[in-house]
Structure 1
Amino acid sequence: MITFDSVSSAEMEAMCTPMHRILSPGPITTTCKPTGALYLGSMAAMHDRDLLHEHHITHLVQVLEVPWLPQEDEAAAVFSYHRIDLEDRTSATLRPHLAAACDFIQAALGRGENVLVHCQQGVSRSASIVIAYLIRQHAMSYDSAFALVKTRRACIHPNSGFVAALRDWEAACTLRSPILVPTPKVASRYMRDRFTHEPQEIRVSKSASG
Protein backbone atom coordinates (compact mmCIF):
# COMPACT_ATOMS: atom_id res chain seq x y z
CA MET A 1 0.00 0.00 0.00
CA ILE A 2 1.31 3.42 -0.96
CA THR A 3 1.35 6.23 1.61
CA PHE A 4 0.10 9.73 0.89
CA ASP A 5 3.31 11.44 2.02
CA SER A 6 5.39 9.61 -0.59
CA VAL A 7 3.55 10.48 -3.81
CA SER A 8 3.79 13.24 -6.38
CA SER A 9 0.85 15.49 -7.24
CA ALA A 10 0.22 13.48 -10.42
CA GLU A 11 0.18 10.25 -8.44
CA MET A 12 -2.11 11.76 -5.82
CA GLU A 13 -4.53 12.90 -8.51
CA ALA A 14 -4.52 9.41 -10.02
CA MET A 15 -5.18 7.83 -6.63
CA CYS A 16 -8.18 10.11 -6.19
CA THR A 17 -9.58 8.99 -9.54
CA PRO A 18 -11.69 5.82 -9.13
CA MET A 19 -10.50 4.13 -12.29
CA HIS A 20 -8.58 4.54 -15.54
CA ARG A 21 -8.98 2.80 -18.87
CA ILE A 22 -5.90 0.73 -19.71
CA LEU A 23 -7.02 -0.88 -22.97
CA SER A 24 -9.56 0.62 -25.33
CA PRO A 25 -12.15 -1.59 -27.00
CA GLY A 26 -10.71 -3.34 -30.03
CA PRO A 27 -11.83 -2.13 -33.45
CA ILE A 28 -14.70 -3.76 -35.29
CA THR A 29 -13.44 -5.05 -38.64
CA THR A 30 -14.53 -7.62 -41.18
CA THR A 31 -11.80 -10.00 -40.05
CA CYS A 32 -11.95 -9.82 -36.25
CA LYS A 33 -14.51 -9.46 -33.50
CA PRO A 34 -14.60 -6.38 -31.27
CA THR A 35 -12.93 -6.79 -27.91
CA GLY A 36 -13.86 -5.26 -24.59
CA ALA A 37 -12.12 -2.48 -22.66
CA LEU A 38 -9.92 -3.08 -19.61
CA TYR A 39 -10.04 -0.74 -16.62
CA LEU A 40 -7.89 -0.48 -13.49
CA GLY A 41 -9.08 1.16 -10.31
CA SER A 42 -9.85 1.21 -6.61
CA MET A 43 -12.69 0.18 -4.33
CA ALA A 44 -14.28 3.57 -4.99
CA ALA A 45 -14.96 2.47 -8.56
CA MET A 46 -16.40 -0.86 -7.44
CA HIS A 47 -18.84 0.86 -5.06
CA ASP A 48 -20.08 3.31 -7.73
CA ARG A 49 -22.62 1.25 -9.65
CA ASP A 50 -23.63 4.19 -11.84
CA LEU A 51 -20.01 4.59 -12.93
CA LEU A 52 -19.74 0.89 -13.75
CA HIS A 53 -22.96 0.92 -15.76
CA GLU A 54 -21.94 4.12 -17.57
CA HIS A 55 -18.82 2.37 -18.84
CA HIS A 56 -20.62 -0.92 -19.53
CA ILE A 57 -18.47 -2.87 -17.08
CA THR A 58 -19.84 -6.36 -16.54
CA HIS A 59 -16.85 -8.21 -15.08
CA LEU A 60 -14.91 -7.46 -11.89
CA VAL A 61 -11.56 -8.86 -10.81
CA GLN A 62 -11.29 -8.12 -7.09
CA VAL A 63 -7.83 -8.43 -5.54
CA LEU A 64 -8.54 -7.95 -1.86
CA GLU A 65 -8.11 -9.38 1.60
CA VAL A 66 -11.37 -8.12 3.08
CA PRO A 67 -13.60 -10.89 4.43
CA TRP A 68 -16.14 -8.23 5.45
CA LEU A 69 -16.83 -7.49 1.76
CA PRO A 70 -19.10 -10.32 0.57
CA GLN A 71 -20.23 -10.70 -3.00
CA GLU A 72 -23.77 -9.35 -2.92
CA ASP A 73 -26.47 -11.61 -4.34
CA GLU A 74 -28.09 -8.71 -6.17
CA ALA A 75 -24.79 -7.57 -7.66
CA ALA A 76 -23.89 -11.12 -8.69
CA ALA A 77 -26.90 -11.08 -11.00
CA VAL A 78 -25.42 -8.07 -12.81
CA PHE A 79 -21.65 -8.57 -12.56
CA SER A 80 -19.39 -11.58 -13.00
CA TYR A 81 -16.72 -11.77 -10.31
CA HIS A 82 -13.25 -13.25 -10.02
CA ARG A 83 -12.08 -12.83 -6.44
CA ILE A 84 -8.44 -13.11 -5.34
CA ASP A 85 -7.84 -13.03 -1.59
CA LEU A 86 -4.42 -11.41 -1.40
CA GLU A 87 -2.74 -8.97 0.94
CA ASP A 88 -0.49 -6.19 -0.35
CA ARG A 89 2.64 -7.58 1.29
CA THR A 90 6.00 -8.45 -0.23
CA SER A 91 5.63 -11.93 1.24
CA ALA A 92 2.20 -12.52 -0.36
CA THR A 93 2.15 -15.23 -3.02
CA LEU A 94 0.93 -13.63 -6.25
CA ARG A 95 2.08 -16.11 -8.88
CA PRO A 96 -0.51 -18.93 -8.32
CA HIS A 97 -3.33 -16.47 -9.03
CA LEU A 98 -2.10 -15.08 -12.34
CA ALA A 99 -3.20 -17.72 -14.85
CA ALA A 100 -6.81 -17.87 -13.66
CA ALA A 101 -7.07 -14.08 -13.49
CA CYS A 102 -5.70 -13.70 -17.01
CA ASP A 103 -8.07 -16.39 -18.29
CA PHE A 104 -11.04 -14.59 -16.74
CA ILE A 105 -10.03 -11.23 -18.22
CA GLN A 106 -9.34 -12.62 -21.67
CA ALA A 107 -12.59 -14.58 -21.82
CA ALA A 108 -14.59 -11.44 -21.04
CA LEU A 109 -12.65 -9.12 -23.35
CA GLY A 110 -12.85 -11.72 -26.11
CA ARG A 111 -16.64 -11.57 -25.92
CA GLY A 112 -16.57 -7.78 -26.21
CA GLU A 113 -17.33 -7.26 -22.51
CA ASN A 114 -15.62 -4.68 -20.30
CA VAL A 115 -13.57 -5.58 -17.22
CA LEU A 116 -12.54 -3.64 -14.12
CA VAL A 117 -9.59 -4.94 -12.10
CA HIS A 118 -9.50 -3.32 -8.67
CA CYS A 119 -7.97 -3.59 -5.23
CA GLN A 120 -8.21 -1.12 -2.37
CA GLN A 121 -6.28 1.78 -3.93
CA GLY A 122 -5.66 0.62 -7.50
CA VAL A 123 -1.92 0.86 -6.88
CA SER A 124 -0.21 -2.49 -6.25
CA ARG A 125 -2.34 -5.65 -6.34
CA SER A 126 -4.72 -4.80 -9.16
CA ALA A 127 -1.94 -3.15 -11.18
CA SER A 128 0.06 -6.38 -10.90
CA ILE A 129 -2.84 -8.39 -12.34
CA VAL A 130 -3.21 -6.00 -15.28
CA ILE A 131 0.54 -6.11 -15.95
CA ALA A 132 0.46 -9.92 -15.84
CA TYR A 133 -2.36 -9.91 -18.40
CA LEU A 134 -0.42 -7.67 -20.78
CA ILE A 135 2.67 -9.85 -20.40
CA ARG A 136 0.82 -13.04 -21.26
CA GLN A 137 -1.81 -11.94 -23.72
CA HIS A 138 0.10 -9.23 -25.58
CA ALA A 139 3.63 -10.65 -25.39
CA MET A 140 4.94 -7.60 -23.55
CA SER A 141 7.94 -7.50 -21.27
CA TYR A 142 7.41 -6.56 -17.63
CA ASP A 143 9.09 -3.19 -18.22
CA SER A 144 6.92 -2.41 -21.25
CA ALA A 145 3.71 -3.49 -19.54
CA PHE A 146 4.55 -1.49 -16.42
CA ALA A 147 5.33 1.60 -18.50
CA LEU A 148 2.04 1.32 -20.38
CA VAL A 149 -0.05 0.96 -17.25
CA LYS A 150 1.90 3.77 -15.56
CA THR A 151 1.01 6.15 -18.38
CA ARG A 152 -2.67 5.35 -17.85
CA ARG A 153 -2.74 5.36 -14.03
CA ALA A 154 0.23 7.30 -12.67
CA CYS A 155 -0.03 6.03 -9.10
CA ILE A 156 0.66 2.33 -9.76
CA HIS A 157 3.43 0.84 -7.62
CA PRO A 158 3.54 -2.97 -7.34
CA ASN A 159 5.42 -4.00 -4.22
CA SER A 160 8.84 -5.61 -4.64
CA GLY A 161 7.53 -9.12 -4.04
CA PHE A 162 4.95 -8.70 -6.80
CA VAL A 163 7.59 -7.30 -9.16
CA ALA A 164 9.72 -10.41 -8.62
CA ALA A 165 6.71 -12.64 -9.28
CA LEU A 166 5.86 -10.72 -12.45
CA ARG A 167 9.39 -10.99 -13.81
CA ASP A 168 9.23 -14.73 -13.17
CA TRP A 169 5.85 -14.77 -14.92
CA GLU A 170 7.37 -12.91 -17.88
CA ALA A 171 10.11 -15.54 -18.21
CA ALA A 172 7.60 -18.38 -18.02
CA CYS A 173 5.30 -16.81 -20.62
CA THR A 174 8.22 -16.24 -22.98
CA LEU A 175 9.28 -19.88 -22.68
CA ARG A 176 5.75 -21.18 -23.23
CA SER A 177 4.73 -18.97 -26.13
CA PRO A 178 7.70 -17.53 -28.02
CA ILE A 179 5.70 -17.56 -31.26
CA LEU A 180 3.15 -15.11 -29.84
CA VAL A 181 5.52 -12.16 -30.18
CA PRO A 182 4.01 -10.13 -33.04
CA THR A 183 5.94 -8.98 -36.08
CA PRO A 184 6.87 -5.28 -36.09
CA LYS A 185 4.16 -4.41 -38.63
CA VAL A 186 1.40 -6.26 -36.80
CA ALA A 187 2.57 -4.97 -33.44
CA SER A 188 2.64 -1.41 -34.72
CA ARG A 189 -0.92 -1.61 -36.05
CA TYR A 190 -2.22 -3.32 -32.93
CA MET A 191 -0.53 -0.87 -30.57
CA ARG A 192 -2.06 2.01 -32.52
CA ASP A 193 -5.56 0.50 -32.41
CA ARG A 194 -5.69 -0.49 -28.75
CA PHE A 195 -2.90 1.16 -26.79
CA THR A 196 -2.53 4.62 -28.33
CA HIS A 197 -5.05 6.88 -26.69
CA GLU A 198 -4.92 9.69 -24.21
CA PRO A 199 -4.99 8.64 -20.54
CA GLN A 200 -8.63 8.70 -19.48
CA GLU A 201 -9.54 9.79 -15.97
CA ILE A 202 -12.89 8.38 -14.94
CA ARG A 203 -14.48 10.34 -12.14
CA VAL A 204 -17.21 9.49 -9.68
CA SER A 205 -20.63 9.88 -11.25
CA LYS A 206 -22.75 12.86 -10.27
CA SER A 207 -25.40 10.73 -8.60
CA ALA A 208 -22.81 9.01 -6.44
CA SER A 209 -21.02 12.18 -5.45
CA GLY A 210 -24.18 14.08 -4.63
Structure 2
Amino acid sequence: MGLPQPRLPPPALPTGPAVVGCRPELRGQSRPLLSATGLCHFATLVLALLVLLEPLGQVDTRKTVKAWCEVHPRACYSVFFLMPPPPQVGVGRPLSQALRFRGQGSQKQHQVCRDRRLETSSTNCPPEKTTAWVRLPHRMDSVQKQDLRRPKIHGAARVAPYQPPTLASLQRLLWAHRAATLTHINEVWPNLFLGDAYAARDKNKLIQLGITHIVNAAAGKFQVDTGVKFYRGMPLEYYGIEADDNPFFDLSVYFLPVARYIRTALSVPQGRVLVHCAMGVSRSATLVLAFLMICENMTLVEAIKVVQAHRDICPNSGFLQQLQVLDNRLGRETGRL
Protein backbone atom coordinates (compact mmCIF):
# COMPACT_ATOMS: atom_id res chain seq x y z
CA MET A 1 0.00 0.00 0.00
CA GLY A 2 1.57 3.23 -1.17
CA LEU A 3 1.80 6.26 0.95
CA PRO A 4 0.86 9.73 -0.44
CA GLN A 5 3.84 11.81 -1.39
CA PRO A 6 4.17 15.16 0.34
CA ARG A 7 3.77 18.23 -1.88
CA LEU A 8 6.98 20.17 -2.08
CA PRO A 9 6.97 23.95 -2.38
CA PRO A 10 8.12 25.43 -5.72
CA PRO A 11 11.79 26.11 -5.91
CA ALA A 12 12.78 29.59 -5.02
CA LEU A 13 14.01 31.77 -7.86
CA PRO A 14 17.56 32.87 -7.59
CA THR A 15 18.11 36.40 -6.56
CA GLY A 16 20.73 38.68 -7.85
CA PRO A 17 21.57 40.78 -10.89
CA ALA A 18 20.79 37.87 -13.32
CA VAL A 19 17.04 38.11 -12.62
CA VAL A 20 16.78 41.85 -12.30
CA GLY A 21 14.41 43.20 -14.96
CA CYS A 22 12.75 39.83 -15.74
CA ARG A 23 9.00 39.75 -16.20
CA PRO A 24 7.25 37.97 -13.26
CA GLU A 25 5.18 35.71 -15.63
CA LEU A 26 8.32 34.45 -17.39
CA ARG A 27 10.38 33.73 -14.31
CA GLY A 28 9.44 30.05 -14.27
CA GLN A 29 10.25 29.38 -17.98
CA SER A 30 13.59 28.30 -19.41
CA ARG A 31 15.53 30.12 -22.16
CA PRO A 32 15.12 27.43 -24.95
CA LEU A 33 11.36 27.57 -24.57
CA LEU A 34 11.39 31.35 -24.92
CA SER A 35 13.40 31.16 -28.16
CA ALA A 36 11.06 28.59 -29.79
CA THR A 37 7.97 30.65 -28.93
CA GLY A 38 9.49 33.76 -30.49
CA LEU A 39 10.33 31.95 -33.74
CA CYS A 40 6.80 30.61 -34.05
CA HIS A 41 5.32 34.07 -33.63
CA PHE A 42 7.74 35.48 -36.24
CA ALA A 43 6.93 32.76 -38.81
CA THR A 44 3.21 33.34 -38.31
CA LEU A 45 3.62 37.05 -38.97
CA VAL A 46 5.66 36.41 -42.12
CA LEU A 47 3.07 34.01 -43.56
CA ALA A 48 0.28 36.46 -42.82
CA LEU A 49 2.19 39.22 -44.63
CA LEU A 50 2.78 36.97 -47.66
CA VAL A 51 -0.92 36.07 -47.85
CA LEU A 52 -1.87 39.73 -47.67
CA LEU A 53 0.73 40.90 -50.20
CA GLU A 54 0.03 38.19 -52.83
CA PRO A 55 -3.03 39.94 -54.41
CA LEU A 56 -1.16 43.23 -54.36
CA GLY A 57 1.78 41.58 -56.11
CA GLN A 58 -0.53 40.19 -58.82
CA VAL A 59 -2.08 43.61 -59.36
CA ASP A 60 1.35 45.24 -59.62
CA THR A 61 2.49 42.51 -62.04
CA ARG A 62 -0.54 43.01 -64.26
CA LYS A 63 -0.01 46.76 -64.26
CA THR A 64 3.66 46.30 -65.20
CA VAL A 65 2.86 43.83 -68.01
CA LYS A 66 0.07 46.05 -69.32
CA ALA A 67 2.39 49.06 -69.41
CA TRP A 68 5.06 47.01 -71.20
CA CYS A 69 2.51 45.70 -73.73
CA GLU A 70 1.48 49.24 -74.60
CA VAL A 71 5.04 49.80 -75.75
CA HIS A 72 5.46 46.33 -77.37
CA PRO A 73 1.93 45.17 -78.31
CA ARG A 74 2.98 42.35 -80.68
CA ALA A 75 5.05 40.52 -78.07
CA CYS A 76 2.59 40.66 -75.19
CA TYR A 77 -0.06 38.15 -76.22
CA SER A 78 1.78 35.09 -75.00
CA VAL A 79 2.41 36.88 -71.69
CA PHE A 80 -1.29 37.68 -71.26
CA PHE A 81 -2.24 34.14 -72.10
CA LEU A 82 0.21 32.61 -69.63
CA MET A 83 -0.76 34.93 -66.75
CA PRO A 84 -3.00 33.42 -64.06
CA PRO A 85 -6.72 34.24 -64.23
CA PRO A 86 -7.95 37.36 -62.42
CA PRO A 87 -9.56 37.09 -59.00
CA GLN A 88 -13.12 37.14 -60.40
CA VAL A 89 -12.47 33.90 -62.38
CA GLY A 90 -12.85 31.41 -59.59
CA VAL A 91 -11.81 27.81 -59.38
CA GLY A 92 -15.35 26.63 -59.87
CA ARG A 93 -15.87 28.47 -63.18
CA PRO A 94 -15.55 26.41 -66.40
CA LEU A 95 -12.72 26.83 -68.84
CA SER A 96 -14.99 28.41 -71.49
CA GLN A 97 -15.73 31.35 -69.17
CA ALA A 98 -12.04 31.84 -68.50
CA LEU A 99 -11.23 31.81 -72.22
CA ARG A 100 -14.14 34.20 -72.85
CA PHE A 101 -12.76 36.59 -70.24
CA ARG A 102 -9.31 36.49 -71.79
CA GLY A 103 -10.81 37.07 -75.25
CA GLN A 104 -12.71 40.09 -73.92
CA GLY A 105 -9.50 41.44 -72.41
CA SER A 106 -7.63 41.00 -75.69
CA GLN A 107 -10.50 42.69 -77.57
CA LYS A 108 -10.36 45.65 -75.21
CA GLN A 109 -6.59 45.85 -75.62
CA HIS A 110 -6.96 45.67 -79.41
CA GLN A 111 -9.65 48.38 -79.38
CA VAL A 112 -7.40 50.68 -77.33
CA CYS A 113 -4.50 50.00 -79.67
CA ARG A 114 -6.66 50.62 -82.75
CA ASP A 115 -7.89 53.94 -81.38
CA ARG A 116 -4.31 54.92 -80.62
CA ARG A 117 -3.29 53.98 -84.18
CA LEU A 118 -5.99 56.25 -85.57
CA GLU A 119 -4.72 59.06 -83.43
CA THR A 120 -0.97 58.66 -83.94
CA SER A 121 -0.97 56.76 -87.32
CA SER A 122 1.01 53.96 -85.69
CA THR A 123 1.43 50.52 -87.33
CA ASN A 124 2.44 48.53 -84.27
CA CYS A 125 -1.05 47.28 -83.48
CA PRO A 126 -1.72 43.59 -83.90
CA PRO A 127 -4.07 42.55 -86.72
CA GLU A 128 -7.48 41.01 -86.22
CA LYS A 129 -6.13 37.52 -86.95
CA THR A 130 -3.74 37.78 -84.02
CA THR A 131 -6.61 38.58 -81.66
CA ALA A 132 -8.51 35.56 -82.97
CA TRP A 133 -5.49 33.33 -82.31
CA VAL A 134 -5.29 34.62 -78.73
CA ARG A 135 -8.97 33.89 -78.32
CA LEU A 136 -8.56 30.33 -79.65
CA PRO A 137 -5.00 29.14 -79.03
CA HIS A 138 -5.65 25.59 -80.31
CA ARG A 139 -6.25 27.02 -83.80
CA MET A 140 -2.69 28.37 -83.85
CA ASP A 141 -1.34 24.94 -82.95
CA SER A 142 -3.32 23.27 -85.76
CA VAL A 143 -2.12 25.83 -88.30
CA GLN A 144 1.47 25.33 -87.24
CA LYS A 145 1.12 21.56 -87.63
CA GLN A 146 -0.33 22.03 -91.10
CA ASP A 147 2.60 24.27 -92.03
CA LEU A 148 4.98 21.55 -90.91
CA ARG A 149 3.18 19.05 -93.13
CA ARG A 150 3.45 21.27 -96.20
CA PRO A 151 6.24 20.45 -98.63
CA LYS A 152 9.22 22.77 -98.48
CA ILE A 153 9.58 23.94 -102.03
CA HIS A 154 12.89 25.73 -101.58
CA GLY A 155 14.40 22.87 -99.61
CA ALA A 156 13.28 20.13 -101.98
CA ALA A 157 15.93 18.37 -104.00
CA ARG A 158 16.08 19.57 -107.58
CA VAL A 159 15.98 17.13 -110.45
CA ALA A 160 19.36 16.84 -112.09
CA PRO A 161 19.42 18.11 -115.70
CA TYR A 162 19.61 15.60 -118.51
CA GLN A 163 23.14 14.46 -119.22
CA PRO A 164 23.74 13.31 -122.83
CA PRO A 165 25.19 9.80 -122.88
CA THR A 166 28.71 9.14 -124.06
CA LEU A 167 29.56 6.82 -126.91
CA ALA A 168 31.02 4.23 -124.55
CA SER A 169 27.87 4.22 -122.37
CA LEU A 170 25.67 3.77 -125.45
CA GLN A 171 27.74 0.82 -126.66
CA ARG A 172 27.56 -0.80 -123.21
CA LEU A 173 23.80 -0.29 -123.20
CA LEU A 174 23.46 -1.95 -126.60
CA TRP A 175 25.62 -4.93 -125.70
CA ALA A 176 24.21 -5.47 -122.20
CA HIS A 177 20.64 -6.17 -123.40
CA ARG A 178 21.20 -8.26 -126.50
CA ALA A 179 18.41 -10.69 -127.35
CA ALA A 180 19.14 -14.41 -127.45
CA THR A 181 17.47 -14.90 -130.84
CA LEU A 182 16.89 -12.58 -133.79
CA THR A 183 13.73 -12.83 -135.87
CA HIS A 184 13.12 -11.34 -139.30
CA ILE A 185 10.53 -8.73 -138.26
CA ASN A 186 9.38 -7.23 -134.95
CA GLU A 187 6.86 -4.60 -133.91
CA VAL A 188 8.95 -2.13 -131.86
CA TRP A 189 6.31 0.61 -131.61
CA PRO A 190 2.53 0.54 -132.20
CA ASN A 191 2.07 -0.18 -135.96
CA LEU A 192 5.80 0.36 -136.55
CA PHE A 193 7.85 -2.72 -137.56
CA LEU A 194 11.59 -3.22 -137.85
CA GLY A 195 12.93 -6.03 -140.05
CA ASP A 196 15.55 -7.30 -142.48
CA ALA A 197 15.74 -8.01 -146.21
CA TYR A 198 14.05 -11.41 -145.88
CA ALA A 199 10.98 -9.84 -144.28
CA ALA A 200 10.93 -7.13 -146.96
CA ARG A 201 10.78 -9.74 -149.73
CA ASP A 202 8.13 -11.92 -148.05
CA LYS A 203 4.98 -10.52 -149.70
CA ASN A 204 2.66 -12.96 -147.99
CA LYS A 205 4.01 -11.94 -144.56
CA LEU A 206 3.61 -8.27 -145.46
CA ILE A 207 -0.01 -8.79 -146.47
CA GLN A 208 -0.64 -10.86 -143.34
CA LEU A 209 0.73 -8.07 -141.11
CA GLY A 210 -1.20 -5.42 -143.02
CA ILE A 211 1.86 -3.36 -143.96
CA THR A 212 0.84 -0.20 -145.85
CA HIS A 213 4.21 1.65 -146.07
CA ILE A 214 7.79 0.41 -146.47
CA VAL A 215 11.01 2.36 -145.77
CA ASN A 216 14.06 0.66 -147.32
CA ALA A 217 17.31 1.99 -145.77
CA ALA A 218 19.46 -0.26 -148.03
CA ALA A 219 18.04 0.57 -151.43
CA GLY A 220 20.23 0.18 -154.45
CA LYS A 221 21.25 -2.24 -157.22
CA PHE A 222 23.85 -4.03 -155.11
CA GLN A 223 21.87 -4.06 -151.85
CA VAL A 224 18.21 -4.83 -151.15
CA ASP A 225 16.96 -4.00 -154.61
CA THR A 226 13.21 -4.15 -154.22
CA GLY A 227 11.74 -0.81 -155.26
CA VAL A 228 8.33 0.12 -156.56
CA LYS A 229 8.37 -2.52 -159.30
CA PHE A 230 8.86 -5.29 -156.74
CA TYR A 231 5.68 -4.32 -154.85
CA ARG A 232 3.58 -3.64 -157.94
CA GLY A 233 0.01 -4.74 -157.39
CA MET A 234 0.24 -4.52 -153.59
CA PRO A 235 -1.64 -1.84 -151.60
CA LEU A 236 1.46 -0.22 -150.08
CA GLU A 237 3.78 2.75 -150.57
CA TYR A 238 7.56 2.57 -150.97
CA TYR A 239 10.31 4.94 -149.69
CA GLY A 240 13.92 4.05 -150.57
CA ILE A 241 17.22 5.38 -149.16
CA GLU A 242 20.56 4.33 -150.63
CA ALA A 243 22.61 4.23 -147.41
CA ASP A 244 25.74 2.29 -146.56
CA ASP A 245 26.37 0.58 -143.24
CA ASN A 246 29.56 2.61 -142.79
CA PRO A 247 30.53 4.74 -139.76
CA PHE A 248 31.56 7.53 -142.13
CA PHE A 249 28.23 7.62 -143.99
CA ASP A 250 26.09 10.64 -143.09
CA LEU A 251 22.69 9.15 -142.34
CA SER A 252 21.57 12.18 -140.33
CA VAL A 253 20.38 14.00 -143.47
CA TYR A 254 17.54 11.46 -143.65
CA PHE A 255 16.50 11.69 -139.97
CA LEU A 256 13.88 14.42 -140.40
CA PRO A 257 12.42 13.36 -143.81
CA VAL A 258 12.04 9.73 -142.73
CA ALA A 259 10.53 10.76 -139.37
CA ARG A 260 7.93 12.89 -141.17
CA TYR A 261 7.16 10.08 -143.59
CA ILE A 262 6.64 7.56 -140.77
CA ARG A 263 4.47 9.97 -138.81
CA THR A 264 2.28 10.66 -141.83
CA ALA A 265 1.98 6.95 -142.57
CA LEU A 266 0.96 6.12 -139.00
CA SER A 267 -1.64 8.88 -139.01
CA VAL A 268 -3.47 7.15 -141.86
CA PRO A 269 -6.31 4.87 -140.66
CA GLN A 270 -4.94 1.35 -140.28
CA GLY A 271 -1.50 2.55 -141.35
CA ARG A 272 1.37 0.13 -140.60
CA VAL A 273 5.00 0.86 -141.49
CA LEU A 274 7.98 -1.46 -142.04
CA VAL A 275 11.49 0.02 -141.79
CA HIS A 276 14.17 -2.41 -142.94
CA CYS A 277 17.73 -2.72 -144.24
CA ALA A 278 19.87 -5.81 -144.90
CA MET A 279 19.97 -7.09 -141.29
CA GLY A 280 17.58 -4.73 -139.53
CA VAL A 281 20.03 -3.83 -136.76
CA SER A 282 22.04 -0.77 -137.86
CA ARG A 283 20.71 1.51 -140.64
CA SER A 284 17.00 0.83 -140.21
CA ALA A 285 17.34 0.78 -136.41
CA THR A 286 19.03 4.22 -136.52
CA LEU A 287 16.13 5.66 -138.52
CA VAL A 288 13.58 4.22 -136.09
CA LEU A 289 15.49 5.69 -133.13
CA ALA A 290 15.55 9.09 -134.84
CA PHE A 291 11.77 8.89 -135.40
CA LEU A 292 11.12 8.16 -131.71
CA MET A 293 13.36 11.04 -130.67
CA ILE A 294 11.88 13.58 -133.11
CA CYS A 295 8.18 12.65 -133.12
CA GLU A 296 7.74 10.96 -129.72
CA ASN A 297 9.94 13.36 -127.71
CA MET A 298 12.20 10.60 -126.36
CA THR A 299 15.82 10.85 -125.36
CA LEU A 300 18.34 8.66 -127.09
CA VAL A 301 18.61 6.31 -124.11
CA GLU A 302 14.82 6.01 -123.83
CA ALA A 303 14.47 5.26 -127.54
CA ILE A 304 17.14 2.55 -127.38
CA LYS A 305 15.43 0.90 -124.41
CA VAL A 306 12.04 0.97 -126.14
CA VAL A 307 13.36 -0.68 -129.30
CA GLN A 308 15.60 -3.15 -127.44
CA ALA A 309 12.60 -4.41 -125.52
CA HIS A 310 11.35 -5.98 -128.79
CA ARG A 311 14.37 -6.42 -131.07
CA ASP A 312 18.14 -6.69 -130.85
CA ILE A 313 19.77 -3.64 -132.52
CA CYS A 314 23.35 -2.47 -132.92
CA PRO A 315 23.97 0.79 -134.86
CA ASN A 316 27.62 1.37 -135.77
CA SER A 317 29.69 3.97 -133.94
CA GLY A 318 29.24 6.62 -136.64
CA PHE A 319 25.45 6.36 -136.51
CA LEU A 320 25.55 6.51 -132.70
CA GLN A 321 27.52 9.75 -132.85
CA GLN A 322 25.01 11.21 -135.30
CA LEU A 323 22.22 10.24 -132.91
CA GLN A 324 24.12 11.94 -130.10
CA VAL A 325 24.19 15.18 -132.09
CA LEU A 326 20.44 14.87 -132.68
CA ASP A 327 19.88 14.21 -128.97
CA ASN A 328 21.81 17.34 -127.99
CA ARG A 329 19.98 19.51 -130.50
CA LEU A 330 16.56 18.28 -129.41
CA GLY A 331 17.56 18.73 -125.79
CA ARG A 332 18.40 22.38 -126.37
CA GLU A 333 15.22 23.02 -128.34
CA THR A 334 12.96 21.41 -125.75
CA GLY A 335 14.80 22.86 -122.75
CA ARG A 336 15.97 19.45 -121.55
CA LEU A 337 19.60 20.59 -121.55
TM-score (norm 2): 0.44
Separation (CA, whole Å) in 2 of partners of 1:74 and 1:129: 22
How many angstroms apart in 1 are the aligned matches of 2:250 and 2:221? 18
Following superposition, which runs of at least 4 residues in structure 1 exceed 4 angstroms of deviation? none
Find the aligned partners of 1:165 and 1:109 in 2 and give their Cα distance.
25
Alpha-carbon distance between aligned partners in 2 of 1:94 and 1:12, rounded to the nearest angstrom: 28
Matched, 1:130 2:288: yes
Q: Is 1:54–2:211 an aligned residue pair? A: no
Q: Deviations over 1:136-193 (max 9, x none)?
A: 1111110110111111102x100000001011112223334x28x9xxxxxxxxxxxx
- State the alpha-carbon separation in 2 of the partners of residues 70 and 122 from structure 1: 15
Distance 1:12 1:120, change over 3 A: farther
Unaligned runs of 5+ in 2: 1-174
Correspondence for 2:247 among 87, 90, 97: 90
1:77-106 per-residue CA deviation (whole Å, 9 max, x = no partner) reads 532111111100100101101111001100
Between Structure 1 and Structure 2, which shows a larger proportion of helix residues? Answer: 2
The alignment's C-alpha RMSD in Å is: 2.1
Superimposed CA distance per residue, residues 97-120 of structure 1 (whole angstroms, 9 cap, x where no aligned partner): 111100110000011300000000
Cα separation, 1, equivalents of 2:289 and 2:310 = 12
Bigger shift: 49-58 or 65-74? 65-74
**Larger strand fraction of residues:** 1
Q: In structure 1, give the amino acid aligned to 2:280.
A: G
Query: Which residue in the other structure is 1:152 paired with?
Result: 310
Q: Distance in 2 between matches of 1:175 and 1:57?
A: 35
Secondary structure of the structure 1 residue equivalent to 2:212:
strand
Range with greater deviation from structure 2 (114-123 or 59-68): 59-68
Give the alignment partner of residue 75 of structure 1, picking from 222, 231, 235: 231
Task: Give unpaired runs (5+ residues) of structure 1.
Answer: 1-6, 25-36, 182-210
Between the aligned partners of 2:232 and 2:329, the Cα distance in structure 1 is: 34
Q: Based on CA coordinates, which of the two structures has the bigger radius of gyration?
A: 2
Quick one: percent identity of the two aligned structures?
27
Pairing 1:184-203 to 2, within 5 Å after superposition: none
Aligned to 1:33: none
- Checking the alignment, whether the CA contact within 8 Å between 2:200 and 2:206 is kept in structure 1 is yes
- State the distance in 1 between where 2:253 and 2:281 align: 20
Q: Is the Cα–Cα contact under 8 Å of residues 136 and 170 in structure 1 kept in the other structure?
A: no
| Cα distance in 2, alignment partners of residues 58 and 41 from structure 1 | 15
1:65–1:87 Cα contact (<8 Å) kept: no
Return the letter of the residue paired with 1:135.
M
Of the two structures, which has the highest relative contact order with CA contacts closer than 8 Å and spacing of 6 or more?
1
Whether the 8 Å CA contact 2:228–2:238 is kept in 1: the answer is no
